[in-house]
Structure 1
Amino acid sequence: MTTTFSSSSLYVGDLHPDVSESHLFEVFNQVGPVANLRICRDNTTRRSLSYAYINYHNSTDAERALDTLNNTPIKGKACRIMWSQRDPSLRKSGIGNIFIKNLDKTVDHKALYDTFSAFGNILSCKVVTDETNTSKGFGFVHYESQESAEKAIAKVNGMMINNQKVFVGPFKSSKERGATQEVKYTNVFIKNLSEDVSEQQLTDLLQAHGKITNLCIMTDEKGKSKGFGFANFEHADAAKGAVENENGKMFSGKVIYVGRAQKKLEREAELKHKFETKYQGVNLYIKNLDDSIDSDKLRATFSAYGTITSSKVMRDDKGSSSKGFGFVCYSTPDEASKAVAEMHGRMVGSKPLYVAFAQRKDVRRAQLEAQHTKFKSSRMPVQSIYPPTGPIFYPPAGMPVVYPQMIPRPPRAGWNGPVPQQGQYPPMQGQYPIRNPRGGVPPTGNHRNQPRPRPDGQQPAAQQPIAQQLIAEPQAVQPEVTLATVQSMPREQQNSFLGELLYPLIHASQPDLSGKITGMLLDSLTVEELFTLYQRTELLADKIKEALDVLTNNTNETPEQQ
């Protein structure tokens, strides 16, 4: 192959997700010395995006790799190699780019390349495949020049390739195709129907626009209408006419919706796009709601910060009780941002609110996976976070030490002394150590020099503001721990204290993974969120489940992924 490229950088696409940098280096270093390579990964989850960039020391080796390794299977999947184009305008301009459809399923990247390489230098060549690596019957070829592309269109369009007549034409972006090509359909979806509307009545309404081949109203197991149905027209123009003329009209006492019927995946993609474009930055998620807060009270609480387009408190299946969370949607991002800044952590009723921008479940999951990946890549292993026996942490002078009432700690074997009371510093000889959630180690120096309780049982003056709230005398009743109490602690002590509260709750349901899960939550959530989990066990159970899903998926990864 002759080429005008003098670059030594290659793009390698269609990689198997399990391919690692070391594996890729072994394959491409056989051709010539590789200067460096990089597999591109998702910024959040760090999973492979299935493409990479490889730099050779000289362009000759890069050209040899393109000629000899293109379409070579790596981990069972053929890779696709092209010259790296750093200028995105060349890729997006459409110059020299052609589209081929109606390809036989047996035509792969290599066969497509061999067919079209006769007309000029190819920068990129691809047959589009599904998740099972089966051809979808179309592909793309990007030539170095527009002249080569026009020659390929003139020669190959309408020809037979593997006994199938193919179409070859200029490549058009989805926006260009959408502007010139109208989606045609015959199946129509109708919803918001009155329960007493029959199929015959719906047929009488819609058949004025054209012949209907099939119509049904969906019903439950008792034969009661679910309020929606479908109608299939013989011609697309009739379906289009029904949508344009009947949508939004009053029918049997209700305003009905009439639109093009969509597959589930298409509806989900449309809803996802709608959320990302319409609601991103204006929709807020509020949790830790008092049971007395309903949708109207939620709207009234947040109305001071702007125009609210919708508000809702989520309720259980029976609608009788609140689930403790809800949503508020503003008309502008500025209003939503102000509400987050002003309302997060504020006491409403008997509880402090958690207020943040709403996120899709997959985004929240990705963030949790990112936290787990961060743990795995750090020097300190995850297992060191809240293990059954952890590193001893001796606090610096002036820092009060607290033990929540709910966590009884039996004395270690061989120690016959009295059990320390809550609020006292760890006794000498290493008894009753505080676990450090960050995996810290004891500071240098003699821990015996740390301040000790006075003979009268009172703490030194510097410790009293917090100690008075949390440290009880022997046999005394421990005061209730509140969010304000935790927030009044030094920042470096807050996570340690919250970890001591959450660890036994997590250990009760997941004794083998309680250390990992506690560490993941401490590193990914705010103090307010952690305290809310301590208060609401049902929310903690949801977080534990999310963490277990992440840990399970990472356990199923290959060693190369890890």
Structure 2
Amino acid sequence: MSPQTTDKAAAAADPKAAANAANDVTANESPAVAHNDNAAAAPAKAGETKAAASAAEGGAQTPNAAASLYVGELEPEITEAQLFAVFTTIGPVASIRVLRDNVTRRSLGYAYVNYHNAADGRRAKDELNYTPIRGRPMRIMWSQRDPVSRRSGACNIFIKNLDANIDNKALHETFSIFGPIASCKVAVDSEGKSRGFGFVHYETEEGARTAIERVNGMLLNDRVVFVGRHVPRKERESKQEALRAQFTNVYVKNLDPAVDDAKLKEVFGVYGPITSGVVQKDEEGKSRGFGFVNFETHEAAKKAVEALHDKEMPGTLFVARAQSKLERQAELRSQYQKAREEKSAQSQGVNLFVKNLDDSIDDDRLRHEFAPYGVITSAKVMADEKGPRGFGFVCFSAPDEATKAVTEMNGHMIEGKPIYVALAQTREVRRQQLALQMTQRAGHHAAGPHGHPGHPGHPGHP
């Protein structure tokens, strides 16, 4: 018996061992499994390609709607074949589908596994949940086709201030004593490290309610944790908007160094009763030029902002509703993204990409070469510490000018070199087009015009 056969036999006896054996499974070894590359938000349908395990039974059984599993936290390289090797240790699999991006065909990190009967689905969820595949524990839960059920917050709880060592499995084990869990997840950053909070979705409201009552404020790994009902994003945003609309705390900057707490209260106290007024100071006790004033009522705070913003005192005061650090960061990101989108929209159809430029070409020369075709708003040759990078951008005032420049200048000789000219594209558009081209080329090489294996391209032919 070969080592590979031995590994498969061991996997059949031990579902956990199958995860290790799955790393060696290739598409050529696997039975027929569903390979639907289109990203979708629904599990594989019963009519999709059947696994060989079900075919061996003559197709007498049909997939059970109650035996559909969602499998998440998957590495991008995990395939249907590798998942098949793991999940068939439990019972006959009807279909498996890894969800992929429509453009790049890259895995979205989750899949749907359909069994023929609910008993196998339950056993797979119990025995395989958090089993590592390629070193990363997969997360298994029942597939919920009904979006209302998925979004219901009554059974979902939020836990924060978690110890960094608590992972999905540890969180599940801790909270499972209060009731059956549908799903459990610790939020992680881009490096896979815990962000200190997580979610547990119970199958019943009673389980969620009991967990909140029993664990909130208790020690978990020597840390006091907060446990409460998970508030959906829309509801959180709605509450935040309501709080913002009734603000009482005001932020003030551009304060003169001579302004102290007493002076700040004197100026702002004109508009209503103040509970506190503080000028922020450095380590030496000197003013940092900004402070906060908290009023007893929203009306007073609003009057102060309207009356004192942009007022000379001396220097021009900036007065606005006080924001949390996270809120300020989110607002700055939003403003930056909006500015980028506006700039991109303005340059749509008028910005040209020019490459294969000679090293002697500078901004002025680039502008001079394209000047005959219209009004140029900017011309820039890109460079780094080593010098010119051989490409640049020319932006015209109107699309028809840019189109004429592309027609006339593409292939034009400058300093003995034919330049390439085309409309500039955003990085995201270029990425999507490149991914699509790679996919098309892969399909071309994989099969000839009649489904036969393809041959390597010849010069001049992709």
- Name the TM tier (shorter chain): 0.5 to 0.7
Q: Residue 66 of structure 2 aligns to a residue in which SS?
A: coil
What corresponds to 1:118 in structure 2?
177
1:23 to 2:63 alignment: no
What corresponds to 1:270 in structure 2?
334
Equivalent residues of 1:286, 1:354 under 8 A apart? no
Q: 1:60 to 1:257 in 2, by over 3 A?
A: same
Equivalent residues of 2:252, 2:317 under 8 A apart? no
Give the alignment of 1:153-172 within 5 angstroms: 153-172=212-231
Q: 1:231 to 1:49 in 2, by over 3 A?
A: farther
Q: 1:157 offset after TM fit, Å?
A: 1.7
Distance in structure 1 (CA, Å) of the matches to 2:455 and 2:325 = 47
Q: 1:365 to 1:158 in 2, by over 3 A?
A: same
Q: 1:127 offset after TM fit, Å?
A: 1.1
String of CA shifts for 1:56-84, please: whole Å, max 9, x gaps: 12221111110000011111111110001
Distance in structure 2 (CA, Å) of the matches to 1:71 and 1:374 = 36
1:291 to 2:367 alignment: yes
Q: 1:12 offset after TM fit, Å?
A: 0.9
Runs (5+) with no aligned partner, structure 1: 191-198, 216-229, 300-311, 329-338, 391-434, 439-562
Give the alignment of 1:536-551 within 5 angstroms: none
Distance in structure 2 (CA, Å) of the matches to 1:72 and 1:125 = 14
Q: 1:268 to 1:313 in 2, by over 3 A?
A: farther
> Which one of the candidate residues 265, 278, 281 is aligned to 1:213?
281
Q: 1:51 offset after TM fit, Å?
A: 1.2
What corresponds to 1:376 in structure 2?
442
Q: 1:96 offset after TM fit, Å?
A: 1.4
Equivalent residues of 2:99, 2:109 under 8 A apart? yes
Equivalent residues of 1:128, 1:138 under 8 A apart? yes
Distance in structure 1 (CA, Å) of the matches to 2:175 and 2:103 = 39
Q: 1:249 to 1:326 in 2, by over 3 A?
A: farther
Distance in structure 1 (CA, Å) of the matches to 2:232 and 2:165 = 26
What corresponds to 2:66 in structure 1?
7
Distance in structure 1 (CA, Å) of the matches to 2:314 and 2:289 = 21
Distance in structure 2 (CA, Å) of the matches to 1:384 and 1:253 = 72
String of CA shifts for 1:334-375, please: whole Å, max 9, x gaps: xxxxx87x777345996589557x63x244224323322432
1:32 to 2:98 alignment: no
Equivalent residues of 1:45, 1:367 under 8 A apart? no
Q: 1:160 offset after TM fit, Å?
A: 2.2
Q: Residue 186 of structure 2 aligns to a residue in which SS?
A: strand
> Which one of the candidate residues 165, 173, 178 is aligned to 2:232?
173
Provide the aligned length of Structure 1 versus Structure 2: 331
Instruction: Name the aligned partner's letter for residue 351 of structure 2.
Output: K
Equivalent residues of 1:286, 1:327 under 8 A apart? yes
- TM-score (normalizing by structure 1): 0.48
Instruction: Name the aligned partner's letter for residue 174 of structure 2.
Output: T
Q: 1:370 to 1:210 in 2, by over 3 A?
A: farther
> Which one of the candidate residues 326, 331, 334 is aligned to 2:395?
326
1:313 to 2:378 alignment: yes
Give the alignment of 1:96-111 within 5 angstroms: 96-111=155-170
Q: 1:90 to 1:35 in 2, by over 3 A?
A: same
1:345 to 2:414 alignment: no
String of CA shifts for 1:460-481, please: whole Å, max 9, x gaps: xxxxxxxxxxxxxxxxxxxxxx
Q: 1:249 offset after TM fit, Å?
A: 6.7
What corresponds to 1:364 in structure 2?
430
Equivalent residues of 2:395, 2:402 under 8 A apart? no
Q: 1:99 offset after TM fit, Å?
A: 0.7
What corresponds to 2:358 in structure 1?
none
String of CA shifts for 1:294-347, please: whole Å, max 9, x gaps: 8xx659xxxxxxxxxxxx5354589xxx9543387xxxxxxxxxx87x777345
Distance in structure 2 (CA, Å) of the matches to 1:317 and 1:276 = 19
Q: 1:203 to 1:38 in 2, by over 3 A?
A: farther
Q: 1:168 offset after TM fit, Å?
A: 1.2
Give the alignment of 1:29-428 within 5 angstroms: 29-181=88-240, 203=257, 208=264, 210-214=278-282, 269-271=333-335, 273-274=337-338, 284-288=348-352, 291=367, 298=375, 312-315=377-380, 323-326=392-395, 345-346=403-404, 351=409, 359=426, 361-379=427-445, 384-385=456-457, 390=459
What corresponds to 1:538 in structure 2?
none
Distance in structure 2 (CA, Å) of the matches to 1:267 and 1:45 = 31
Q: 1:120 offset after TM fit, Å?
A: 2.8
Q: 1:138 offset after TM fit, Å?
A: 0.9
Equivalent residues of 2:156, 2:202 under 8 A apart? yes
Equivalent residues of 2:352, 2:402 under 8 A apart? no
Equivalent residues of 1:288, 1:351 under 8 A apart? no
- TM-score (normalizing by structure 2): 0.57
Distance in structure 2 (CA, Å) of the matches to 1:362 and 1:288 = 17
Instruction: Name the aligned partner's letter for residue 334 of structure 2.
Output: E
Distance in structure 2 (CA, Å) of the matches to 1:327 and 1:262 = 40
Equivalent residues of 1:343, 1:355 under 8 A apart? no
String of CA shifts for 1:147-169, please: whole Å, max 9, x gaps: 33223222222222222222111
Runs (5+) with no aligned partner, structure 2: 1-63, 265-276, 296-300, 354-365, 384-390, 411-420, 448-453
Q: 1:281 offset after TM fit, Å?
A: 6.2
Equivalent residues of 1:126, 1:140 under 8 A apart? yes
Aligned sequence identity (%): 37
Equivalent residues of 2:349, 2:402 under 8 A apart? no
Q: 1:275 to 1:72 in 2, by over 3 A?
A: farther
Equivalent residues of 1:125, 1:140 under 8 A apart? yes
Equivalent residues of 2:155, 2:208 under 8 A apart? yes
Q: Residue 91 of structure 2 aligns to a residue in which SS?
A: coil
Instruction: Name the aligned partner's letter for residue 291 of structure 1.
Output: R
RMSD over aligned Cα atoms:
4.8
Q: 1:47 offset after TM fit, Å?
A: 2.1
String of CA shifts for 1:467-496, please: whole Å, max 9, x gaps: xxxxxxxxxxxxxxxxxxxxxxxxxxxxxx
